[in-house]
Amino acid sequence: MLGAIMARYTCSFTISIPIDNLQPLLLELLQGCDLEIQYYNADYILAREIPGNVSFSKLVKVEAFIDRSSATETESRMSIVIKNEELPLQLDNYCRQMFEFVKQSIEKCRHWHLIESLAG
């Protein structure tokens, strides 16, 4: 059996915020995007979309990775991976729409200043 190709989108961010402030603000931001926090530690957050609005295969999972090794007093780096079990048959699929929503929420967050955003 071949493994299913699922929708998956990634983005890296450099933002001006002390590293110790990033995780609690990111948890709050993800919850504000109607995502339920499943697990977190100092450098990783796993959140998922709350069931009920879309089919199970379209439910989005968000992984956020906080890069503590490259942090300075004023700059932090993080990356997100947003994925679901949906086959990405259309360019503007549901996972892509959720990716753009979360990405824009991070880019426009009033708690930090975006320095760089690189979608991959």
Q: What is the pTM of this model?
A: 0.91
pLDDT at 8: 93
- H/E element, 102: helix 94-107
**How much of the chain, in percent, has pLDDT values that exceed 70?**
96
pLDDT at 48: 96
Residue 113 has pLDDT above 80, yes or no: yes
The dotted CATH code for 8-119 is: 3.30.310.80
**Which class for 6: exposed (0-12), middle (13-18), buried (19 or more C-beta within 10 A)?**
middle
pLDDT at 1: 42
Structure tokens at 9: 């989108």
Taking a C-beta distance cutoff of 8 angstroms, is the pair 11, 114 a contact? Answer: no
**Cα first-last separation, the chain:** 28
Measured distance CA(6)–CA(12) in Å, rounded: 20
Taking a C-beta distance cutoff of 8 angstroms, is the pair 103, 25 a contact? Answer: no
pLDDT at 104: 97
3-state secondary structure of 2: coil
pLDDT at 32: 96
pLDDT tens-place string over residues 52-98: 888 888 999 999 999 999 999 899 999 999 999 988 788 889 999 99
Domain extent listing, the chain: 8-119
